[in-house]
Amino acid sequence: MVNSGTKQSKIKNTVDLKCLSHCFIAVAALILILISSALANAQQKHVLRIHAIVNDDVISFYDLIQRIRLVILTSSINDSLETRRRLAPQVLRTMIDEKLRLQEAERLNIKISSTLVDSKIRFLEEQNKMPVGALTEVLDRAGIDQNSLRIKIRGEIAWQKIVKRRLLRKVYISNDQVEEELDRLKSIQHLPQYQVSEIFLSVDNPDQESQVVELANRLIGQLDAGAKFSLLAREFSQSASAAVDGDLGIVSKGQLDSEIERAIEGLSPGELAGPIRTLSGFYILKLHNRVIPAQVTAEVDKRAEISQVLLPLKPNSVPNEIQAQIRFAQRIKAESKNCKQLEETGRTLKTPQSGSLGDINIATLPDPIKKAIDTLPENKVTAPIRVAEGLLLMMVCKWTTKNRSLPSQKDIRERLGDKRLNLLMQRYMRDLRRTAFIDLRG
């Protein structure tokens, strides 16, 4: 017979063990909760931790992570932890420049309204054939903070406004510079031509060189992996061509730095070159096409709308009569600013061969006339051309098919202006970086 005291003691011990077990589980659960909470807090603190200080502004790890996600989404780059790690330095560099531009805009009292940012977002949606609000939905699905895109757009608008206010007025290309460049292009038009895109990364001081080279090599690696050149150029290039996806159009040999030309010469269409060191920084280039002018007949379909005035001279005209007509021709040339004025002069003179010739194929004209108007800008009068009937003055009202071997004066002016603007932009950003307090943290 079991003693009742012993039985009660066993029951008590069993209950105590169960209580201890439940208590242990409860304590363990509490510890796990506390550890999880601590880890979550630590992770949150890491994400919100300062990664860089740019003067008085902060870039957190969260800001950087969000921007990297945005870059991956908009640049068609394959997403992976390794890709994010490689992208981080170049994205951070871009964000630092963005902070400097926004700070400079504020210093210059340049306002960037939310309405302007909204308009830019709507433009991006239209450009990508998306309905209103679709871009926001795409960002939400990708887990990207919408503010990351808005800050990026604000930085772009700020820079455009700064350039317009401070730099564009310093870009002046004279008529003499255009003529000089046109003469130079004529002298090299027999040389190869290239259709090229660029990504430019500036080097402000020698200490940055290794970082910029590493950045350039990362971009090349991403391009080799299938990233689109145009998207990376728009995102990372520090040249004015970034606004047009890095496209330089068609350039002739002799228009680019010698280092760049040597690199291009060894490329086949579709291939990349770089990083190429120049005085101002590093270039990554993509050759789209190569044209050998000797293989192209530039005049086959070169057409223009032309007007003319004929000042008659008899075959037996004496020198005094010829000189008088030449002086009259020079006066008409100086006073005629467009085809309408030149045609009115012809009607006043009542010479039957004066007036509009309509749309003409340049290749069908006699050699002296063809030579005189071949590179003539619109609304400019030729020098007097001696023909059997007298002196001929001609004007191109409109080029309907441009010479493929030579750009127009307008194109030359724009290209020279872009080159000048590029230098000014690089110097402006270099000065902003040099005078800034930038503290990078791990």
Among 89-103, 190-204, 390-404, which range has the highest average pLDDT? Answer: 89-103
pTM over 0.75: no
Instruction: Please indicate, yes or no, whether residues 266 and 347 belong to a single structural domain of this protein.
Output: no
Q: What is the mean pLDDT of residues 275-302?
A: 73
CB atoms within 10 A of CB 316: 6
Instruction: Please indicate, yes or no, whether residues 291 and 419 belong to a single structural domain of this protein.
Output: yes
Instruction: Please indicate, yes or no, whether residues 64 and 117 belong to a single structural domain of this protein.
Output: yes
Instruction: Please indicate, yes or no, whether residues 309 and 251 belong to a single structural domain of this protein.
Output: no
Q: What percent of the chain has pLDDT over 70?
A: 85
CA dist., res. 23 & res. 27, Å (int): 6
Instruction: Please indicate, yes or no, whether residues 161 and 56 belong to a single structural domain of this protein.
Output: yes
Query: Binning pLDDT at 50, 70 and 90, where does residue 150 land?
Result: very high
Residue 415 in contact with residue 250, Cβ under 8 Å?
no
Question: Is pLDDT at 109 greater than 90 in this prediction?
Answer: yes
Domain of residue 146, CATH code: 1.10.4030.10
The whole-number pLDDT of residue 15 equals 47
Instruction: Please indicate, yes or no, whether residues 309 and 288 belong to a single structural domain of this protein.
Output: no
Question: Is pLDDT at 368 greater than 90 in this prediction?
Answer: no
Q: For 120-147, how does the pLDDT look when each residue is reduced to its tens digit (9 = 90+)?
A: 999 888 877 889 889 889 899 888 999 9
- Burial letters 218-251, b for 16+ CB under 10 A, else e: bbbebbeeebebbbbbbbbbbbbbbeeebbbebb
Instruction: Please indicate, yes or no, whether residues 54 and 100 belong to a single structural domain of this protein.
Output: yes
Question: Is pLDDT at 16 greater than 80 in this prediction?
Answer: no
Domain count, the chain: 3
Report CA-CA distances (Å) from 281 to 200, 208, 245, 273, 416. 7, 10, 19, 14, 19
The whole-number pLDDT of residue 158 equals 94
- Tell me whether residue 427 is in a domain: yes
Instruction: Please indicate, yes or no, whether residues 320 and 392 belong to a single structural domain of this protein.
Output: yes
CB atoms within 10 A of CB 376: 17
Q: What is the mean pLDDT of residues 201-222?
A: 82
Instruction: Please indicate, yes or no, whether residues 129 and 267 belong to a single structural domain of this protein.
Output: no
Q: For 72-84, how does the pLDDT look when each residue is reduced to its tens digit (9 = 90+)?
A: 888 777 788 888 8
- Tell me whether residue 316 is in a domain: yes
Report CA-CA distances (Å) from 316 to 55, 148, 319, 391. 83, 81, 10, 14
The whole-number pLDDT of residue 44 equals 47
- Tell me whether residue 180 is in a domain: no
Instruction: Please indicate, yes or no, whether residues 291 and 191 belong to a single structural domain of this protein.
Output: yes
The whole-number pLDDT of residue 26 equals 52
Instruction: Please indicate, yes or no, whether residues 426 and 362 belong to a single structural domain of this protein.
Output: no
Among 26-40, 150-164, 237-251, 266-280, which range has the highest average pLDDT? Answer: 150-164
- Tell me whether residue 371 is in a domain: yes
Question: DSSP character for 406?
Answer: S
The whole-number pLDDT of residue 21 equals 52
> Based on the number of CB atoms within 10 Å of its own CB, is 107 exposed (0-12), middle (13-18) or buried (19 or more)?
exposed
Alpha helix segments (H runs only) across 49-174? 61-75, 81-107, 114-127, 134-141, 146-162
Instruction: Please indicate, yes or no, whether residues 279 and 415 belong to a single structural domain of this protein.
Output: yes
Q: For 226-243, how does the pLDDT look when each residue is reduced to its tens digit (9 = 90+)?
A: 788 888 888 888 887 887
Domain of residue 281, CATH code: 3.10.50.40
Query: Binning pLDDT at 50, 70 and 90, where does residue 412 land?
Result: confident
- Tell me whether residue 224 is in a domain: yes
- Tell me whether residue 282 is in a domain: yes
Query: Binning pLDDT at 50, 70 and 90, where does residue 184 land?
Result: confident
**Tokens encoding 212:** 């910029």
Q: What is the mean pLDDT of residues 4-22?
A: 51
Query: Binning pLDDT at 50, 70 and 90, where does residue 117 land?
Result: very high
Residue 260 in contact with residue 158, Cβ under 8 Å?
no
**Tokens encoding 397:** 């009202």
- Tell me whether residue 103 is in a domain: yes
Mean of pLDDT over the chain: 81
Question: DSSP character for 145?
Answer: -
> Range of 382's domain?
303-399
Boundary (domain end) residue, out of 134, 169, 204: 169
Farthest-apart Cα atoms in the chain, separation? 159
CA dist., res. 357 & res. 365, Å (int): 12
CA dist., res. 305 & res. 379, Å (int): 11
The whole-number pLDDT of residue 22 equals 52
- Tell me whether residue 337 is in a domain: yes
Omega cis (within 30) before 315 = no
The whole-number pLDDT of residue 42 equals 44
